[in-house]
A and B are shown apart, each in its own frame.
Chain A
């Protein structure tokens, strides 16, 4: 976690852009770009990730100035971030290639959409889609003879998440963080709380760090199993979908038996955890062992089902060069050659002491993304065992450090099942005045634009499932 020092150093956007370009040219990545409305203008904040950690840079678009030089032409990964800034604050990035509404739209989608140019047709799908899924609109654009292009509109379910934090105490803010991307509640809560703890200078007790880790790994298991259910379902493997649905249910029940919430809500609080687990380490170990045996058997059968693997092979390929350029996160990035995992790159909670085995593949297709998740399922089980063993040793030691409210800015992170979650928080007079939670889903979803090498309609369910993202985490 990094406290952002109050250097008072604010540059022009052009200067910030040069620094971002230099950082990315040196192998680093743009991890976030967000805005804060201040009296004297719009503060644009970039988070840069590299071997040295996360660096925060600020630039000001002075009040009265309606535009700034866009980053996107030089740093492609800024594409959605600048559209988001435009949606939320109305400032125009000069030179941005496609400044359409993304996450917020004043007229909620009443845009011309059937013929948006000569010879350019769009086939809308959504926002109400078939099946029980989150609302999003996919536009399949067919420019003449060319390969169809997929465009996404996320503003339908925009809830104004960032504004919910403003005015809350740091203790209440975690409730909003848990509900920013509900299937990754624990990772969001951890990233958020670590930022708060950095501001307060609080050290989370070891026992609390272990409990956080247990919940984070159970969350990873549930999300990865959910991806497998959806892939099996898309492939018409009814029994496999049923089996993995049952395994996922058991993970959610295990989480519920530890804390009362099937999504681990209420566990992570600033300073540590809210309560001791409702079941002991021995019972946890037994449940994990049972799960491991049954999931392991079914995973082996699945990874030996040739027709299934064939369907995923070469579907939705993301070349490793593109993944690196964009800084693709989580299993999507690691299936395309990335080796960064927040748990080892910038260890937190109990990962500072537990051994995480980072999984990576080169092929970049839906199969590689599945293989990475399969590895991570096995490693999560391993981590759960280690954490449960450690918990048995800690006895009744403290669960929460004093996290007295202090003022300042800090960045916190966690590796959600979808990839790195980044929270940038500002506390003034004991209350939150700004909170930016950037999900891995937001950073990664834009890549779905470009992985449709084959037939959009038949590949779609496999690609969407293999990305494993949540719309809530993107639409804000």
Chain B
């Protein structure tokens, strides 16, 4: 049976479209807005959703996502709540792949076996664990056994031999981090990225998503020239932060994404 990732990336390829992957922190700005927001993102053109699991010590994140995490934690959001939201989302959306993005300690405390069972039951498709490189990925064996994909990151500092190992070990898609830094920084040099993504393509047939530093339609279109999908996080989280109601959050999510979707689709013609 094909996974949701496989189906989604095959559809994109057949249609000649670039995938759009928004990131939101689960529980921010309002816990009750999460599920309506996820649906609004899909309506606005999301192909895959990265749902951030809040963590108290997000070492690889800049201030925008740090603060979103802090707000969510202050409202008591944890892994269990997040899985509940995914299950609720799945009641009316069977197709959009969902990646849980975050750090290892929440899974450690939840228990890997228990997490694998509960995540699959909720309808999660994969995990992207920032502080779990391939060297430590043995702890995720129960997740793989349950059918969850492990999305791996590759970065500008990844040496060629290591890149090959990453390509082999990654499942779902490979996430290329466009620069050495934390989320939310605005520096983007598309020339370097294009060359690196080309190198990945020689080692792997997996879809390549590019993120970090994509903030708007312009930067998304620039990345689309060589990536299968673009990831947008901090700029969206920033836009959502000031939402005052569930409807406001959903509208903001939709209205942020729709023009980017339109620009990506206009590009292919």
A and B: partners?
no
